[in-house]
Amino acid sequence: MTEATPFLELAQLCRRVQATTKRNEKIALISTFLKSVSSEEVPLATLFLAGKAFPESDPRVLEISYATVSDASKNLGQKRLAEHPLTIGDVYNTLERIAKTSGSKSRDRKMSLLQTILTQASPVEAEFLTRMMLGEMRIGVVEGVLLDAIAEASGVPRDLVRRANMLHGDIGDVASLAMSRGATALERISLRLFVPVKPMLAEMADDAEQVLAEHKDGTAFEYKFDGARIQIHRKDDKVRIFSRRLTDVTDSIPEIIDFAKTQVKASEFLIEGEVVATGEAGKPVPFQDLMRRFRRVHEVEDMAGKIPLKLYLFDALQVDGKTMIDQPYTERWKILSQIVPEDRLAPRIITSDVEKVESFMQSALKEGHEGLMAKSLSSNYSIGARGKKWFKIKPADRLDVVIVAADWGSGRRVGWLSNYHLAVRDEDSGEFLVVGKTFKGLTDAEFETITKRLQELKTRDGRYTVYVKPAIVAEVAYNEVQKSPRYKSGFALRFARISRFRDDKKPDDADTLQRLQQLYDKQFENKARVDME
């Protein structure tokens, strides 16, 4: 029987990985560690390095706040129960117990579990354990680094590891299978009904010309909706519906369950679409109203009457036992159109005529939608990946950013966290880098609501500033991207103002530093650059 690995070794690995900026060195460190631990510990260590307690599709959550960790850490003093070193398994047993804790006085019981494990932990163990629980790992291990480390440790081809992870949705289990059973086990991984899959993502495009130049085999242009993306899973009488964030929202949208059971001409399928909240004359209503439906767990029927939904479908990933993600877009659309009513399909045109695309874009905007999606006719469905097979075209003066801190307001805004530090994600490091601040765009009620949410996400206090776990995604409008020595990102958004919160998106879905650089460069297509250095 393999001896249990001390958790200290995993914590020390985190410190070493954090200390280097070299991608290949990070991969080598992680690979060596994965080869050194038992098969039972591989998935646990992998998840920890990813900054997670549980797989993305696992509904369990820790619900540990900065305040709870802070209170649990008080009065521990120098006392350490070091007779038996904390193991990786010990840590995960405790995390599972914390996730199961609910009901009255659950905070007290969680704090007691935390105090017990923190008493057994050394300072470095306590540091990385609390950082993981608060979603604050930030050791420079983006998903690609971890997948490459799994490939190196197991000897399985990198592309196969990446594909298996996209299909499976549990990076820990993928690591375990790769290490213990090799390529053959990963080759067997396919889509599984009722296990949500990461949606295929799109690059931004500025206009139709850019798309048509990229898509040599033709392009389909579909409406881009101001709604919530969903995937509908059905087998016989069982239906489950998942959001873009892989959250089960089945119970909040009963009319979509009814549609799946009565209007789709197949008894087993995984299809994808978007739901839009509608108002008078079927026009879309604000995105925030749609999110009220998705959060609703009580009085759902009443809310369904107040906020009716319109479903638009645009992809079929599996139908009657046949997985279709490797089929071209044209084939997937053909199958989808055969099993769902025509009026439920996303409006679309197939054309290479720029004027027709522009006219179609104006129709989408006039009907209250965001713009267009542009999809290569020959493209497969790349689960969880962003690339040039799909583009989104919409007015380019908006970005999705993440709130990483907020300042206490003054004057009329006193008592509210109301000046928000806005950040984009650096694709290379995974770090969120500030690109500006704003207090504009919110109502008093929204100031109050967001203040409460931010305080629950607090990681530390400054004199006037509360620093928070990157969790809230906001769409901001802005006038210009400027160079800025003030921020580590090197950029600042001019006249930024919040247009809405994107509760359907995770921080990793926010716009990136690399995208911001592209937008900055594009501003000079019709302007002269002035070198101020």
Active site residues: 224
φ, ψ of residue 473 in degrees (nearest 5)? -100, 130
- Which residue in 141, 135, 128 sits closest to 22, CA to CA? 141
Rounded (5°) CA angle 373-199-314: 45
Rounded to whole angstroms, what are the CA distances from 356 to 213, 351, 429? 16, 7, 41
Alpha helices per DSSP H over 80-232: 88-100, 106-120, 123-133, 143-154, 158-168, 171-187, 208-214
Q: Position 383: which residue type?
A: I
What CA–CA distance (Å, rounded) separates 132 from 312?
38
Residues 6+ apart with CB under 8 A from 115: 72, 76
Write the burial class of residue 70 (CB in 10 Å: 0-12 exposed, 13-18 middle, 19+ buried).
middle
Q: What angle do CA 229, 238, 236 make, to 5 degrees?
A: 115
Give the Cα separation of 260 and 313 in Å (integer).
11
Tokens of 530: 């002035």
Tokens for 345, please give them: 């399909």
Largest CA distance in the chain: 75
Amino acid type, 187: E
Give the dihedral sign, CA 504/133/139/32.
Answer: negative
Query: Are the C-beta atoms of 277 and 266 separated by less than 8 Å?
Result: no
CB 399 within 8 A of CB 493: yes
SS3 category, 270: strand
Instruction: Check: CB of residue 510 under 8 Å from CB of residue 473.
Output: yes
**CA gap 423, 440 in Å, rounded:** 16
